[in-house]
Amino acid sequence: MTRIPKTEITGVKGALVKRVAKKMLGEVPEPLGVMWHHQGVLAATMGLGRKANKWNECDKDLKSYAHMAVASLVGCSFCLDMGYFQARNEGLDLVKAREIPRWRESEVFTPLERDVLTYAEAMSQTPPTVTDELSGRLLKRLGAPALLELTAFVAAANLAARMNVALGIEAQGFATSCGLPPLAQPRTQSMPQAGSSGTPSRA
């Protein structure tokens, strides 16, 4: 149960929001009912999300993996569920999307993807643990515009994930309803040193 009870989404604007949500997702996501208590906050966060999705300097797959890595680290089951669902609808690599929760143990990611996932986690630590070495590798591979975009995208992912966790918003089963297999789970709960891309497990 959410920590702030959902409220009824009403009015002309509410009807439009629900219609769009059902068209995109098949149902109205739980955060909308919670956020409807403060439509200014809802409009601002949704607006940021829409604008961020239009940025095109950084590869879409990389940003999707980074977002899910943030969600996994922070513990936002809603974001992970939504990210997996969206990966399917946007034609992204579902094998890799499914492996995000155990990416350090997985062998499906390229060195660049592993650096991006490491960067997303390092940014999401408190305090952040991004190193000059990691940032330098990404700058060399991606270029300044794409790295700036990736950084802003990870920051926005933290905003969404931490809000959802604080509000008690959990997964609604969007991915399950599409018949997607469950997300992979880490074999161990031990956390490698932040800022290191790590190496796949050879169990």
pLDDT tens for each residue of 140-166: 999 999 999 999 999 999 999 999 999
Sign of CA dihedral 135, 105, 125, 170: positive
Mean pLDDT of the region 14-23: 93
| pLDDT greater than 80 at residue 195 | no
Report the chain's mean pLDDT, rounded to a whole number: 91
In this prediction, residue 26 carries a pLDDT of 87
* Cα separation, 151 vs 79, whole angstroms: 18
In this prediction, residue 125 carries a pLDDT of 97
Q: For residues 167 and 94, is the Cβ–Cβ distance under 8 A?
A: no
Q: Which long-range contacts (CB under 8 A, 24 or more apart) does 137-146 make?
A: 141/112, 141/115, 142/58, 143/57, 145/57, 145/58, 146/57, 146/58, 146/59
Give the pLDDT band of residue 175 (cuts 50, 70, 90).
confident
Give the pLDDT band of residue 34 (cuts 50, 70, 90).
very high
| pLDDT greater than 80 at residue 12 | yes
On the 0-12 / 13-18 / 19+ scale of CB atoms within 10 A, 167 is middle
Top pLDDT among 139 and 190 is at: 139
Please tell me the pTM assigned to this model: 0.88
Domain 57-203 has CATH 1.20.1290.10: yes
pLDDT tens for each residue of 38-92: 999 999 999 999 999 999 999 999 999 999 999 999 999 999 999 999 888 788 8
Domain ranges of the chain: 6-54, 57-203
In this prediction, residue 91 carries a pLDDT of 84
In this prediction, residue 164 carries a pLDDT of 97
In this prediction, residue 188 carries a pLDDT of 63
High-pLDDT (> 70) share of the chain, %: 92
